[in-house]
Structure 1
Amino acid sequence: MTEHVATTPGVYPLPDWAKGDLADLKGHQKHDLVDGDEGEAVTEVYEQAREEVIDSQQSAGLDRVVEGQLRWDDMLAHPLAVHDSVETRGIVRYYDNNNFYRDPVVTDDLTFDGDIAGELDAASEFVDADELQAVVPGPYSLADLATDEHYGDDDEFLDAIADFLAGEVEAFPEVETLFVLEPSLVENSPDDGEDERASEAVDAVTSAAPADTDVVVHTYWGALDEKVHAHLLDADFDALSYDFVSNHEDNLYNINEYGTKDSIAAGVVDGQNTLVEDAEAISDRADWLQENTPASDFETIYLTPNTELFYLPYSTFEEKLAALGEATDLAEVKA
C-alpha cells in the first residue's frame, strides 16, 4: 500500500514578531540582516522563531519537519551568501517574481562551511531523527543563481558547487529525508549535453546522503523538459517531485511516458497563492494522481507545497500547513 507523507520544501516566512525584532535590532530591513556572523541578540530571535515554526509543523501533523531556513534571506542562494569565499554584491531578481537576493560572487575555492549542518543540529533538539528533514539547494540551481569569478569554466563551476554541497550534506546529523530543491532545471532548463552534466551534479549531492536517508529532488514552477527529465532519473535518489499546481498535464505526461522513481513527491498545495486549499481538495489531488498514473504503484507519495513558502504571510503559512496535514491523513484513510 502506498504511504502518504506530509512535508514541505522549507524556506519559511519569519513570524511577524521576529521580523519586527530583527528590524529593530539591525535598524534596517530584514534582507540585509544575514551575513553569517549574527550577534547574540539576533541569534536568539532566530532560535525562538525556529522553535515556533517547528511547533507549527508538529501541531499541523506533518510527517516530516524542517528547520525552517529562516536565516535564508537570499533564499536558495544562502549557502553561498554566507561562505567566506563568496562576496555578496548587487540585488538580483529571484527567478520571475517580486523577491530579490544578493548576488553571490564566488571568488575563491568553495571549501567546507557547515552552516546548514549547524541549523539541523539546532533543530534536532526539538525533532526526532525519524521525522527530521533537511533542505538544500540543488547544484544546478545554486550555480544558476551565482556568479563565478574564480573557476572560469561553467562545467568546472557546476562540479565545484556539487562537491561543496556534497560536503555539506555529509556533515548533516541523522535525518529521515533530504529535499534537494532544483527549480532552475525548469526555469532555466539545461541545453543538450548540459542536461546530462546537471544530472551528474545532482547525483554527486544526493549520493552524499546516508543510505538510509530518503532523498527527494524537488523541481517546480512548471514541468521538466523531456530530455532533462530522462537524464535526471539516472541520478541516485528516491523520489522526483512534480509541480501539479503550475503544470499538471505536462508533469503527468512525463510520468506516464518516461516513468519515474519508485516514490514521488507531488506539489499539490500552492506555495505562493494566499488562498488556503481545503483539506478534502488536497486529498482529491492525491487521488487524481494515482488514478491517472495507472502504470505506477508508488511506495511513497510525499504531499507538499509546490514551492518554498517564504512568499506567504505567516498566518496563511500556518493555515496551509494545517490543511496539508489534514489532507494527508485523509489520503491515508482512503488508501
Structure 2
Amino acid sequence: MTDYVSTTPGLFPLPDWAKDDLSDLKGHQKGDLISGDESEEITAAYTEAREEVIGVQEEAGLDRIVEGQLRWDDMLAHPLAVHDAVETRGIVRYYDNNNFYREPVVQGDLEFSGDVASELETAAELTDDSDDLQAVLPGPYSLADLATDDHYGDEADFLAATADFLAGEVDAFPDHETLFLLEPSLVESAPGDGQDERASEAIDTVANATDADVVVQPYWGSLEEKVYAHLLDADIDAVGFDFVANQDENVYNLQEYGATDAVSLGLADGQNTLVEDPEAIRDRVDWVYDQIPVTEFETVYLTTNTETFYLPAGKFEEKLAVLAEAADLAEVKAA
C-alpha cells in the first residue's frame, strides 16, 4: 500500500513580524543579509521565527517537518555564502525571477562548515517526533551552478568538491527521516553530455552520506531526457516532478524511463497565492497515476512545486494545511 506523505521543499517566508524586526535590525530586507556573524538580537529573532514555522507545520498536520531555512537570505547559495573559504560579491538574479542572492566565489578548499547541521539540530529539539524531521539542502549541481570557482580550476573537480562538501555537512546532521535535495539547475541550466553523468554521481555522493530517504527535487519545468535517465542511476529514493510548471514532459519521462520506487509530486503552486482545494490535489495524484504505467509507488510525497519563500505568510500557512489534508484524503482513498 502506498504511503502518502505531505511535505515541502523548505525555504519558507518569514513571519510578518520577523520581516519587520529583522529589517530594522539589519537595516535592509531579507535577501541582502551579510550572513555569518549575526548579532544576539538577530539570532533571537530567527530562533523565535523558527519555533513559529515549526509549530505552523505541526498544526497543519504535515508528515515531514523542515527547519524552514529562514536564515537563507541567499536562498540555495546559502551553504556557500556563509563558508569561510567563500567571498560573497555582487547581487545576482536568482535564475529568471525577481529574487536575488550574493554571488558566492569559492577561493579555497570547501571544508566542513556545520552551519546547516546546527540549524537542523535546533529544529530537531523543537519537533514533537524526530521521525518527522526532514533536512533540506541545495543539490550539488545547483549549488555549483550558482557559485563561481576561483580555486579548483576545473568544472568537474569543482562539482565533485561541492558534492564532497555537502556530504560532509549531511554526515553531521542529527537523525532525520528524509532529505530533500533541491536541484532547479538541472532544469534551468541543464548539464550537457558528460556533465549530466557527473551531476548524477555528485548527487549520489551526497545521498550516500545519510541513511534517510533522499528526494531529488528539480523544479521550474522538466528534466531533459538524458539528465533524467542519469538521475535514475543515482542512489536516491525519489525524484520530484514539477507538475505546476510542466505536465506533458514530466509525464513523458515517467512513461519512457520509469521512476524510482517513491516519487515526489509538486502539485501545489509554491509561488501563486491561489490556494488549491485538497480534493483537487488528490485528484491530480489520480491523474498522474492515469498517465503512467506504474500501478503503485511505495511512497508518494505531496508537496509544493517550488519553495514557498515567495508567498505571503498567511497563504503559505493555508498551502501547508491543503497539502496535509490532500495526503490524508489520498490515504483514505487508497485504503
TM over 0.5: yes
**2:138·2:181 contact (CA, 8 Å) conserved in 1?**
yes
Q: Which residue of 1 aligns with 2:144?
A: 143
**1:95·1:187 contact (CA, 8 Å) conserved in 2?**
yes
Any gaps of 5 or more consecutive residues in structure 2?
none
5 Å matches for 1:242-253? Answer: 242-253=241-252
Name the CA distance, whole Å, in 1 between partners of 2:26 and 2:228.
44
CA shift at 1:296, angstroms?
A: 4.0
In the alignment, residue 326 of structure 1 is paired with which amino acid? Answer: E
In the alignment, residue 165 of structure 2 is paired with which amino acid? Answer: F
1:190 matched to 2:194? The reply is: no
**2:243·2:265 contact (CA, 8 Å) conserved in 1?**
yes
Name the CA distance, whole Å, in 1 between partners of 2:31 and 2:186.
26
**1:34·1:71 contact (CA, 8 Å) conserved in 2?**
no
5 Å matches for 1:280-299? Answer: 280-299=279-298
**1:177·1:215 contact (CA, 8 Å) conserved in 2?**
yes
Q: Note closer, same or farther for the CA distance 1:77–1:101 as it changes in structure 2 (3 Å cut).
A: same
**2:32·2:101 contact (CA, 8 Å) conserved in 1?**
no
Q: Which residue of 1 aligns with 2:88?
A: 88
1:14 matched to 2:8? The reply is: no
Name the CA distance, whole Å, in 2 between partners of 1:287 and 1:296.
11
CA shift at 1:252, angstroms?
A: 0.9
5 Å matches for 1:1-335? Answer: 1-127=1-127, 128-210=129-211, 213-335=212-334
Any gaps of 5 or more consecutive residues in structure 1?
none
CA shift at 1:30, angstroms?
A: 2.8
Name the CA distance, whole Å, in 1 between partners of 2:206 and 2:80.
15
In the alignment, residue 83 of structure 1 is paired with which amino acid? Answer: H
Q: Note closer, same or farther for the CA distance 1:175–1:34 as it changes in structure 2 (3 Å cut).
A: farther
TM-score of the aligned structures, taking structure 1 as reference length: 0.98
After superposition, the C-alpha distances for 1:199-249 in whole angstroms (9 at most, x for unaligned) are 001100111112xx1110111111110011001100001011111111111
Q: How many residues align?
A: 333
In the alignment, residue 73 of structure 2 is paired with which amino acid? Answer: D
After superposition, the C-alpha distances for 1:72-130 in whole angstroms (9 at most, x for unaligned) are 01000000000000011000000110000000000111000000100000001111220
After superposition, the C-alpha distances for 1:110-167 in whole angstroms (9 at most, x for unaligned) are 0000001000000011112200000000000000000111111111110110000000
CA RMSD of aligned residues (A): 0.9
After superposition, the C-alpha distances for 1:291-320 in whole angstroms (9 at most, x for unaligned) are 222334200000000101101111110111
CA shift at 1:29, angstroms?
A: 2.5
TM-score of the aligned structures, taking structure 2 as reference length: 0.98
After superposition, the C-alpha distances for 1:157-188 in whole angstroms (9 at most, x for unaligned) are 10110000000000000000000010100111
* Runs of 4+ that moved beyond 6 A: none
